[in-house]
A = this chain, B = another copy of it.
Amino acid sequence: MAKIIKINHIAIAVPDLENSVTFWQDQLGLSVDHIEEVPSQKSKVAFLPTGDSEVEIVCPTTPDSGMAKYIEKRGPGLHHICFEVDNIDEMLAELKAKGVMLIDETAKELPGRKMAFIHPKSANGVLVELYEVTRS
């Protein structure tokens, strides 16, 4: 049976990356490790490691992305929680067999990682991302 290893990251949706990072870095004292454009997610992301997890401040780069619509509807705030798993393909098959609604029935392969989202309807309103590190 596939297992969750840890919280990989918590994503916070914001409309303006530079202004938003001020709170997390200059006021709260976390450090931005790097900022990256993620074209597959139509977003720009600041990564702030803490403990064995990360806070990700995510800003949509196009107004038609899911996150842009989320911010328009609900305002900025907590967007999703991502769990790192030891075997994402096995985990997705097990969740499907248990009747869990998946946004991605198969994992998307990106450099160094595989990822998939569980539908909030199956997860108490929470958007849950699963993530497997594949770089060796």
Contacts and interface: CB of A to CB of B under 8 A. Distances in A.
A32 interface: no
Interface stretch (A33-41, A60-68, A107-115, A118-126): A118-126
Given A10-B81, A78-B78, A120-B77, A4 B23 contact: no
Given A7-B10, A78-B126, A124-B23, A29 B53 contact: no
Given A7-B53, A53-B6, A100 B27 contact: yes
A4 to B, nearest CB: 6
A30 interface: yes
Interface in A1-49: 1-7, 10, 12, 14, 20, 23, 26-30
A3 B29 contact: yes
A135 interface: no
Contacts of A128: 28
Interface in A70-89: 74-81, 83-84
A17 to B, nearest CB: 10
Nearest to A26: B98
Contacts of A52: 6, 51-53
B7 A125 contact: no
